[in-house]
């Protein structure tokens, strides 16, 4: 029993001390007589649950890069002289630009919270996509359908990270991270998803008519003006 | 005559079926003259490779941006510069893609154009100078690769000199490479001199300069 209390008090002291990590380290470092302080001072920007959520955020960044390059391929396909659909090119190029810039913003966010970026970590389901010989040279409606699926995946992934950050467990609970995702990412995804879903509705009625080529031509003209 | 009608019906029946349920999503095979498409395979191949090289450079700069953004490194000026370089490199890839499209290329095998092997090799640097030196080496290697593309497109087994592309790469791309390299070399020099006697202070001041 006594031992238990000792352990508990040691733990408590540990917890209390950790609140003033940085200050204590600085005091020690400034006292060092040989001028060169050897131990690193623990004055990082880390607080809350960034350690618990960091890996999910890193993956999220890498998924953005993968999607950005895929959108670039889709855009490229529409810009060749046989497809020659400049509106579709613009649509996918815009999605590629957006995911690219979101990736940079996410890296900046991770480092704002004292974390770091790891470019190697990717979710298994996205690694397995690669084995299925992905095709990005698609017909108009198919390509928008694919983009809609990609955007939904990204949106749901943000929900999942948000879920991790709202777990009532101090290792994960971090309302700042969930709030950042809520305000910086979720509305953008909502709008893109709505836009793409609207396009698939339009195209599936337009392609159900007597002249789908003319419909596609006019729809492409419309996309160019967006 | 009968066969034509049957064939026509078969052809029409697909559009009619579409009228009810199946959508007509695909268009017919096109018959566009190919004579104007005069790029030769070895040249196209090396251009496709260069697109990936530019993206690799983009991701390498991205890693530099991420490194200098860390709280324990805290060099926002360096980070800003490297993130911008990353986006510039991506633009170079897009410029090369646009060129190939203009010449009638990239009508097939577009999906294989970018592979998922772009993760940066180096992800941490001891100092800012170290990273700038790496950036300079990276640019020099890109320059060398552009020169190789030029060589292939000027003189290859097919003996076809692609004057226009060679001119574009020489006048546009190499021009930017050489100006960029000079700029980085100047930065390395200034920073290294600053740090000779005032290591930490030199890098601190230089970083803030980069934010201006
Ligand atoms: Fe470049």
The answer to whether B60 and B18 are in contact (CB under 8 A) is no
Residue A19 has pLDDT above 60, yes or no: no
Q: What is the pLDDT of residues B36-49, one digit of tens each?
A: 999 999 999 999 99
CA B169, distance to chain mean position in Å, is 13
B97 compared with B195, residue with greater pLDDT: B97
Quick check: A212 and B97 CB within 8 A? no
Residue B187 lies in a domain: yes
Residue B3 lies in a domain: no
pLDDT band (50, 70, 90) for residue A33: low
Residue B95 has pLDDT above 60, yes or no: yes
Residue B11 lies in a domain: no
Nearest chain A residue to B18 by CA: give it. A208
Ordered alpha helix ranges (H), B103-162: 128-154
The answer to whether A215 and A202 are in contact (CB under 8 A) is no
A95 touches chain B (CB under 8 A): no
Mean pLDDT calculated for residue range A116-143: 89
The answer to whether A199 and A215 are in contact (CB under 8 A) is no
Option in A104, A114, A130 nearest B116 (CB): A130
Domain CATH number, residue B78 = 1.20.1260.10
Residue B91 lies in a domain: yes
Quick check: B110 and A80 CB within 8 A? yes
Q: How many structural domains is chain B composed of?
A: 1
A207 touches chain B (CB under 8 A): yes
Mean pLDDT calculated for residue range B137-165: 94
Option in B23, B90, B107 nearest A207 (CB): B23
What pLDDT was estimated at residue A35? 59
The answer to whether A87 and A221 are in contact (CB under 8 A) is yes
Residue B94 lies in a domain: yes
User: What one-character DSSP code corresponds to residue A82?
Assistant: T
Residue A124 has pLDDT above 70, yes or no: yes
Question: How many residues does this entry show for chain A?
Answer: 226
Is pTM beyond 0.95? Reply is no
Q: What is the pLDDT of residues B21-80, one digit of tens each?
A: 577 777 777 889 999 999 999 999 999 999 999 999 999 999 999 999 999 999 999 999
Measured in Å, residue A29 CA sits from the centre of ligand 1 at 45
Residue B177 lies in a domain: yes
Residue B4 lies in a domain: no
User: How many C-beta atoms surround the C-beta of residue B52 within 10 A?
Assistant: 16
Q: What is the spatial distance between Cα B6 and Cα B12, in angstroms, rounded to a whole number?
A: 10
Q: What is the pLDDT of residues A42-52, one digit of tens each?
A: 888 988 888 88
| B70 neighbourhood in chain A, CB within 8 Å | 111, 116
Query: Which residues touch A91 (CB under 8 Å, ≥6 apart)?
Result: A75, A144, A147, A223, A226
Containing structural domain, residue B46:
37-211
Residue B5 lies in a domain: no
């Amino acid at each position: 029993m006594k031992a238990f209390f000792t352990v508990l008090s040691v733990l408590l002291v540990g917890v209390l001390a950790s609140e003033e990590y940085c200050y204590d380290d600085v005091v020690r470092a400034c006292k060092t007589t040989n001028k060169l302080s050897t131990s690193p001072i623990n004055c990082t920007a880390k607080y809350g649950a960034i350690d618990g959520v960091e890996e999910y955020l890193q993956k999220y960044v890498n998924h953005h890069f993968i999607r950005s390059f895929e959108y670039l391929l889709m855009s490229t396909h529409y810009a060749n002289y046989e497809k020659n659909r400049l509106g579709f090119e613009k649509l996918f190029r815009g999605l590629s630009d957006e995911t690219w810039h979101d990736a940079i913003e996410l890296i900046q966010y991770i480092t704002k919270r004292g974390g770091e970026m790891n470019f190697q970590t990717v979710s298994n389901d996205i690694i397995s996509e690669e084995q299925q010989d992905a095709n990005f040279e698609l017909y108009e409606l198919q390509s928008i359908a694919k983009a809609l699926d990609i955007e939904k995946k990204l949106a749901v992934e943000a929900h999942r990270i948000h879920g991790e950050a709202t777990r009532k467990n101090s290792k994960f609970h971090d309302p700042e991270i969930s709030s950042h995702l809520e305000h910086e990412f979720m509305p953008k995804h909502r709008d893109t998803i709505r836009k793409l879903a609207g396009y698939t509705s339009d195209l599936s009625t337009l392609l159900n008519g007597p002249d789908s080529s003319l419909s596609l031509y006019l729809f492409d003209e419309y996309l160019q003006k967006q | 005559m009968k066969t034509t009608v049957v064939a026509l019906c078969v052809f029409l029946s697909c559009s009619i079926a579409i009228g009810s349920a199946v959508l007509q999503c695909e268009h017919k095979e096109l018959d566009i003259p190919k004579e104007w498409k005069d790029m030769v395979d070895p040249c196209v191949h090396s251009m496709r490779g260069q697109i990936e090289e530019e993206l690799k450079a983009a991701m390498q700069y991205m890693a530099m941006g991420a490194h200098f953004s860390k709280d324990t490194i805290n060099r926002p000026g360096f980070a800003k510069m490297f993130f911008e370089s990353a986006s510039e490199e991506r633009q170079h890839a897009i410029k090369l893609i646009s060129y190939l499209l203009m010449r009638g290329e990239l009508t097939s095998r577009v999906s294989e154009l970018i592979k998922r092997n772009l993760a940066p090799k180096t992800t941490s640097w001891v100092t800012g100078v170290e990273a700038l030196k790496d950036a300079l080496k990276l640019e020099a290697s890109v320059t060398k690769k552009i020169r190789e593309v030029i060589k292939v497109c000027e003189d290859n087994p097919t003996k076809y000199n692609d004057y226009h592309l060679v001119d574009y790469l020489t006048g546009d791309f190499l021009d930017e490479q050489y100006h960029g390299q000079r700029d980085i070399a100047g930065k390395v020099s200034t920073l290294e001199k600053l740090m000779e006697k005032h290591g930490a202070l030199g890098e601190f001041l230089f970083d803030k300069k980069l934010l201006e």
